[in-house]
Amino acid sequence: MADILDDPEASRLFHSVALELADTHKGLDKERVVNVLARTVRDIHGRPLTKWPKVKRPADSKVKLLPLVWFSPSISEALQYLPPDEALALFERDELERLRIRQLFTSYLGSRDAPLYTIKQCASTINKLVRHLKDNRRYLLDTGYPRTVFKYSALLTRNMVELYPVRWPSGVREEEGKYSYTWSMARWNEDGPECAYEEAPLAPGLSIADAAQLESLRGRFYEARAEVLRTLVLCLRGDDPEALWRRTKAALTKHLSADEAWFLLRMDSSLESYEFAQPRSPLSARGAMSALLTLAGHCEKELRVGTMDKACRALGELVRKDGRGCPNIPFSSYYEVVGTPEQQRVESVCDMLAELEEREEQFWGEYEQRVNSALEEEFRTEVTVTRLVRPGYESQYRSTIETFGVPGLMTAEEVGRILSVPAKTVMNLYRSGELTGCIIGKKTVRFHPKDVAEYIERSRKAQGTEGDDD
């Protein structure tokens, strides 16, 4: 810490942040804040800094950037919920790593990303999805889109209600639980005459051959998905993880060849699952095949590890569903629960989840190998084997630590400090889509450092002012 504070640039930054916080939070001791900042500063990889990094900037650069450093846990965030002396005492008294982990998991449990279902609730929700798919079968096979709204889980809506659509609608309207789609002959985001579905242009980047193959596979993939979902329900209710994977694999190999499975996985990875701008929900970055495999993995993981089942049971009545069917806790930050009756229960669950992280990572690594081994050895292979790159299955699993805390998510104010712009500008970048953010709780927006770093890199390249770090 002494080395960091001895560096003039680091000292200026810490005192500038402390002064800014003191202007907002009356009675805040700036020197105590500086010491807390020096203890919580981290590099881009989440490692505590003991030496201040230097940044080389081109002489003609018009952008003045600070080193890519972050504060985790964040005293700035704590001050949004706690009185100044109480916040500082918490950072000076508690073990910082434990504080950081509790903040990460509380943010996760308060987000829309945590599948906070017991095993019984998970089975019930998937069973509702089976009925939804059956009710929407004709429209899914014709267009890839559902006709009715699945209102029981926004998580499953993002991942599991579409069936490889190949054309983008120019408009989607929801009324009384039903969707109506408008098709246009113009390209996406351009004005043009309305038309029938068959006359609408293909999604950008999708070739005619790939579109034709996706449409030809819809019927069999629909049957595979329905059979897998029914299997998940039965195995969840029967507490049978061994049968779950065996029967899931049997359903997939029954309906799809290895070439077809690899083709769908290639679509998932290369076209990022057609992230349509639809008003009903933000869609997942995974495609239908990957999403189905990941859902099966999640169900098996719950039967073997029980992460979300245990958390849900321990949190009890604290778990609530928002208006879009996402179960979460009504806190976007650990500091919200400090000093409340819920603090001990939330802390206990966060500590439990941290202990289960290693088992989750181990499971997903093994599961990914198992799926890819089946693709290589147990799916039937057509006479003409594809010679395209076969990407295989990637579980897309990112631990809570990776997603929410390597290092921690940042506020708009903290991002603004790095970019030397006001927080309002950061939020404008988020709303325009230039800077990726995530929603915690009902409407709190936070930013992952890696997304900020990518935005900075894009800005450097756009302005021709790329620089290298020492």
365 has a pLDDT exceeding 80:
yes
164 closest CA partner among 218, 102, 106, 228: 218
Q: What is the pLDDT of residue 282?
A: 25
pLDDT band with cut points at 50, 70 and 90 for residue 48: confident
Q: Rounded mean pLDDT of 2-11?
A: 83
Q: What is the mean pLDDT of the chain?
A: 83
> CA 386, 387, 388: angle at the middle one, nearest 5?
95
232 closest CA partner among 311, 141, 155, 293: 293
Strands of 108-213 (E only): list them: 171-175, 178-182
379 has a pLDDT exceeding 60:
yes
pLDDT over 70 for what percent of the chain? 84
- 226-259: b (≥16 Cβ within 10 Å) or e: bbbbebbbebbeeeebeebbebbbebbbebbbbb
Q: Report residue 301 CA to chain centroid gap.
A: 18
pLDDT in tens, 384-421: 444 455 667 877 665 555 555 544 567 788 788 777 78
296 has a pLDDT exceeding 70:
yes
pLDDT in tens, 159-208: 789 999 999 888 889 999 999 999 998 875 567 789 999 999 888 778 89
Q: What is the pLDDT of residue 442?
A: 52
The phi, psi pair for 71, rounded to 5°, reads: -115, 120
Q: What is the pLDDT of residue 216?
A: 94
Please provide the distance, in angstroms rounded to a whole number, between the alpha carbons at the two ends of the chain: 20
Tokens of 128: 């509702």
Q: What residue type is 349 in one-letter code?
A: V
Mapped onto helix, strand or coil, the DSSP state of residue 202 is: strand
Instruction: Report helix angle 288-304 to 119-135, nearest 10.
Output: 150
Name the more confident of 421 and 320: 320
- 387-408: b (≥16 Cβ within 10 Å) or e: eeebebbbbbbebbbebbbbbb
38 has a pLDDT exceeding 50:
yes
What are the beta bridge partners of residue 438?
446
Q: What is the pLDDT of residue 186?
A: 80
pLDDT in tens, 141-168: 999 999 999 988 888 887 789 999 999 8
Q: What is the pLDDT of residue 147?
A: 95
pLDDT band with cut points at 50, 70 and 90 for residue 465: very low
**CA–CA distance, 425 with 423 (Å, rounded to integer):** 5
**CA–CA distance, 401 with 396 (Å, rounded to integer):** 14
**CA–CA distance, 462 with 465 (Å, rounded to integer):** 8
Burial of 385 (0-12, 13-18, 19+ CB in 10 A): exposed
Region of 339 please: left (phi>0), alpha (psi -120 to 50) or beta: left
